[in-house]
Amino acid sequence: MALKDRLLAETMKLSQNPAVAKLLADERFMRLVVTAMSMPGRVSTFTAEQKERFAREMGLATSDDVRDLKRQVAALEDALRRLERRG
């Protein structure tokens, strides 16, 4: 039996327990579950924001800055090639 199938089976067993059903019906508990599930996204967003802030404070280029600069350089090189072909 795969892990996913076993986890599903155990969850079904738990959901039939009256104490668990009562807990799942509690709005406060469900709010806590939803908040806990959203934490990884919140942490990664916070980390990314702090990383960008630190880079700005230290005068460093972020990966987004480098990507934008590479696009600009590529566009300028294309424009230069077109001008060289004309002249």
- CA distances to 29, 45, 78 from 20, rounded to whole Å, are 11, 33, 64
Give residue limits of the domains in the chain. 3-86
Q: Is the pTM of this model over 0.75?
A: no
For the segment 54-82, what is each residue's pLDDT rounded down to a tens digit?
999 999 998 889 999 999 999 999 999 99
49 CB neighbour count, 10 Å cutoff:
10
Q: What is the mean pLDDT of residues 7-29?
A: 87
